[in-house]
Amino acid sequence: KAKNRLTAQAYIDGVLSGNRVILSRAITVIESNLESDKLLAKDIIQAILPASGNSVRIGVTGVPGVGKSTFIEVFGKHIINQGHKVAILSIDPSSQRSKGSILGDKTRMEALSTLESAYIRPSASGDTLGGVANKTAESMLLCEAAGYDVVLIETVGVGQSETAVHGMTDFFLLLMLAGAGDELQGIKKGIMEMADMVVINKADGDNIKKSELARLQYQNALHIFPQSESGWMPVVTTASSTKNIGVDAVWDEITKYTELVVKNGYFNKNRNHQKIRWMYNNINEALKHLFYGSKDIASKLTALEKQIIASEISPVKAAQDIIETFKKSFE
């Protein structure tokens, strides 16, 4: 395998020239857990960084079955017809254990995947959401450097993954169904609050009336939230991905959004904030790893737990003591 490896410069040149084969191989390096690949990945990212960032980053979420891949297929084609190049990545927390459930299936988005201007990459796997999020975000930078000016990051509407997607995108799109209760759809208030746009999908046939009703309900619900710092008022629309109705309107809204936030400065402010947060998230993860990964700390913690239960030491004092022990290990 190592024999097949390209030089860092070959990856960099390939990505910057928009070579899809090299882009895929570079993403494989990003996703690799081999120490030698991690070093290579660092060099590649460092070199392409100045060429990244020139895209509209769109997060797409919604429960399995809501129609994400059907929507993205039609939406992607629409954007490409407007002259854009679109990359589609995903964060799939379930792929940490089993084979990915989203984007893993090769039959998904078949028509889109044959287009020269579309790049579809199945979800990375990893031990932690933080690790998977890192890989997806760095893959996004590579796609941008390769000339993709729209990046879609898909995730399922459960767990923490949508917070991760929200933290790396400019616009957050939530797909929903009419008639299914919020709880049924696994939609927590926090997710609604992140949404810049809610699309009630499958608004066709017998579903049209129900969907319009749901649209009004969600529109009202969203107006209760305090206005976002972006200055954008979230919109709720209906669409049918299979009949290609209302899908182009989603792009119109995203275009309006980006015009607004570029003009009022929020676009850059948010991007800067996200980059800084990305660093701190990694520091926090690494610190936790360093602390809990230490054998000394682990055995002392076991002893402290017993003392706490026996009321021999207060939880606060125990925490202070263990941090002192940790600090001493660096002296």
Binding site for ligand GDP (CB under 6 A): 62, 64-70, 201-202, 204, 240-242
Q: Closer to ligand GDP at the Cβ: 65 or 190?
A: 65
Amino acid at 256: K
How far apart, in whole angstroms, are the C-alpha atoms of residue 64 and residue 197? 18
Q: Closer to ligand GDP at the Cβ: 173 or 261?
A: 173
User: What HEC string does the chain produce?
Assistant: CHHHCCCHHHHHHHHHCCCHHHHHHHHHHHHCCCHHHHHHHHHHHHHHHHHCCCCEEEEEEECCCCCHHHHHHHHHHHHHHCCCCEEEEEECHHHHCCCCCCCCCCCCCHHHHCCCCEEECCCCCCCCHHHHHHHHHHHHHHHHHCCCCEEEEEEECCCCHHHHHHCCCCEEEEEEECCCCCCCCCCCHHHHHHCCEEEEECCCHHHHHHHHHHHHHHHHHHHHCCCCCCCCCCEEEECECCCCECHHHHHHHHHHHHHHHHHHCHHHHHHHHHHHHHHHHHHHHHHHHHHHCCHHHHHHHHHHHHHHHCCCCCHHHHHHHHHHHHHHCCC
Q: Closer to ligand GDP at the Cβ: 65 or 293?
A: 65
Q: How far is the CB of 73 from ligand GDP (least distance, A)?
A: 8
Q: How far is the CB of 242 from ligand GDP (least distance, A)?
A: 4
Q: How far is the CB of 99 from ligand GDP (least distance, A)?
A: 15
Q: Closer to ligand GDP at the Cβ: 67 or 234?
A: 67
Q: Closer to ligand GDP at the Cβ: 6 or 245?
A: 245
- Residue tagged 């206005």 (tokens): 227
Q: Closer to ligand GDP at the Cβ: 121 or 202?
A: 202
Q: How far is the CB of 225 from ligand GDP (least distance, A)?
A: 25
Q: How far is the CB of 202 from ligand GDP (least distance, A)?
A: 4
Q: How far is the CB of 153 from ligand GDP (least distance, A)?
A: 14
How far apart, in whole angstroms, are the C-alpha atoms of residue 241 and residue 70? 6
Q: Closer to ligand GDP at the Cβ: 142 or 214?
A: 214
Contact 16, 145 (CB under 8 A): yes
Q: How far is the CB of 164 from ligand GDP (least distance, A)?
A: 18
Q: How far is the CB of 65 from ligand GDP (least distance, A)?
A: 5
Token representation of residue 30: 């990003």
Contact 177, 71 (CB under 8 A): no
Q: Closer to ligand GDP at the Cβ: 134 or 136?
A: 136
User: Residue 100's closest CA among 119, 121, 120, 122?
Assistant: 122
Q: How far is the CB of 206 from ligand GDP (least distance, A)?
A: 9
